[in-house]
């Protein structure tokens, strides 16, 4: 009897039993195979939800060339870098949780979008609602916010023109918008600053087609900014669950819905030759970990699991130069800080 069938000659990693149930979750064979190389001269820009901060830090420690157009001023203590939005990403834009937020930023750089209704108040201080935590105590005046944003947008433009590779971590589908302008905020009005008004603000939960279309628009706009110069993209999906949901559904259902849509979008986008997908979401959520990849709050990914995730990345993209702690004395932020900064965590203070 001929038992040959389409599954007869598949590799071990194609079977759940051999590829997951009996596999070492810290060393998963063939979980990621790179689509393109990252070289020592590859200029990398990075953005995304708070999980992207882990990737940024590990790339720096392993010698990759990460762009930083808004570095911390020399006199700012290392322990305050994150608090003021420094040393996290390639510019001081803070966490970019949604693709619509990313698109909005590059459209502002290209001149296609002129933000309005983006200044919030709190205790006679003024905040840039599009990156409300980069100045935790706010600005003294409305005009200071406007001037600081103009400076920031120029720096973001420099980042976009320099990059060879853009790494982006997709975080959420849920967001809050200004009804008049459709401006998307990284966090709901009233959490950090500003005041929530149901006449002015609306909740929005993006679907697959919208997110996919927004990302393609992001690519088109970025090409326009770069005068047609091509670039590569590496996508990940954040394994960090939502802190809370405004969807009216249970948080477990809402989180699974959000992550599933984002993972599907990333997979579809990665069909393009210039877009790769790195499975950080899958590695962290491997059933073999039994939720041990997270801290006690079952939300933030622990240091051991981060090393596992990035270990799989560095198997394919060999470190340019592993920088030891002695050489990092000038940047204690990288040595001493394992935390990530999430605007979303502030929402948890409102639970009853």
User: Could you list the pLDDT tens digit for every one of the 352 residues in the chain?
Assistant: 567 899 989 999 999 999 999 999 999 999 999 999 999 999 999 999 989 999 999 999 999 999 999 999 988 888 888 889 899 999 999 999 999 999 999 999 999 999 888 999 999 999 999 999 899 899 999 999 999 999 999 999 999 999 999 999 999 999 999 999 999 999 999 999 999 999 999 999 999 999 999 999 999 999 999 999 999 999 999 999 999 999 999 999 999 999 999 999 999 999 999 999 999 999 999 999 888 888 888 888 999 999 999 999 999 999 988 776 555 545 555 545 556 666 655 555 556 6
Give the global pTM.
0.92
For 257, half-sphere exposure in the C-beta direction (CA atoms, 13 angstrom radius) is: 14
Give the separation between CA 185 and CA 128, rounded to whole angstroms: 10
CA nearest neighbour of 136 among 77, 62, 85: 85
What residues contact 134, with CB distance under 8 A and at least 6 apart? 84, 85, 92, 93, 94, 128
Q: Is 169 helix (H, G, I), strand (E, B) or coil?
A: strand
Reference 57, options 343, 347, 339; nearest CA is: 339
- What does the pLDDT read at residue 272? 97
The whole-number pLDDT of residue 335 equals 47
SS3 184: strand
Contact 313, 31 (CB under 8 A): no
Burial of residue 16, with CB atoms counted within 10 A of its CB: 0-12 exposed, 13-18 middle, 19 or more buried: exposed
Q: What are the angstrom distances between the C-alpha of 261 and each of 64, 287, 309?
A: 30, 20, 21
- Partners of residue 174 on adjacent β-strands: 205
Are 226 and 106 spatial neighbours (Cβ–Cβ below 8 Å)? no
Check residue 340 and give its pLDDT: 67
And the tokens for 95? 């966490």
Cβ atoms of residues 173 and 211 within 8 Å: yes
Q: Find out whether 300 and 348 touch, Cβ atoms under 8 Å.
A: no
Domain boundaries, the chain: 37-345
CA atoms of 306 and 294, how far apart (whole Å): 10
- Tally Cβ neighbours within 10 Å of residue 255: 22
Report the interhelical angle of 303-316 vs 52-61 (nearest 10°).
Answer: 60
């Amino acid at each position: 009897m001929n038992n040959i069938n389409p599954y007869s000659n598949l590799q071990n990693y194609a079977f759940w039993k051999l590829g997951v149930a009996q596999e070492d979750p810290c060393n998963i064979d063939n979980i990621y195979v790179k689509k393109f190389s990252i070289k020592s001269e590859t200029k990398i820009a990075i953005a995304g939800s708070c999980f992207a901060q882990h990737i940024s830090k590990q790339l720096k420690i392993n010698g990759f060339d990460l762009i930083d157009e808004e570095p911390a001023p020399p006199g700012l203590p290392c322990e305050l870098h994150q608090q003021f939005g420094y040393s996290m990403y390639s510019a001081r834009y803070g966490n970019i949780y949604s693709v619509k937020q990313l698109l909005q930023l590059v459209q502002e750089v290209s001149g296609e979008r002129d933000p309005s209704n983006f200044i919030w108040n709190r205790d006679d201080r003024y905040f840039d609602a599009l990156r409300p935590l980069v100045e935790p105590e706010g600005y003294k005046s409305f005009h200071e916010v406007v001037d600081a944003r103009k400076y920031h947008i120029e720096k973001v433009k420099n980042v976009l023109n320099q990059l060879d590779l853009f790494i982006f971590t997709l975080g959420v589908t849920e967001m809050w918008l200004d009804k008049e302008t459709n401006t998307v905020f990284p966090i709901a009005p009233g959490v950090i600053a500003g005041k929530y008004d149901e006449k002015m603000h609306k909740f929005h939960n993006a679907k697959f087609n919208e997110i996919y279309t927004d990302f393609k628009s992001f690519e088109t706009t970025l090409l326009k900014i770069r005068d047609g110069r091509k670039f590569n993209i590496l996508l990940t999906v954040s394994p960090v669950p939502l802190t809370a949901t405004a969807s009216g559904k249970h948080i477990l259902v809402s989180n699974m819905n959000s992550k599933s849509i984002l993972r599907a979008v990333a997979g579809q986008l990665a069909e393009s030759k210039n877009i790769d997908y790195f499975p950080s979401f899958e590695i962290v959520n491997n059933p073999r970990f039994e939720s041990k990849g997270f801290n006690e709050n079952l939300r933030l990914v622990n240091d051991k699991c981060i090393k596992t995730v990035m270990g799989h990345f560095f198997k394919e993209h060999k470190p340019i130069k592993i920088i030891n702690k002695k050489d990092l004395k000038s940047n204690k932020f990288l040595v001493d800080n394992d935390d990530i900064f999430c605007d979303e965590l502030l929402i948890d203070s409102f639970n009853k």
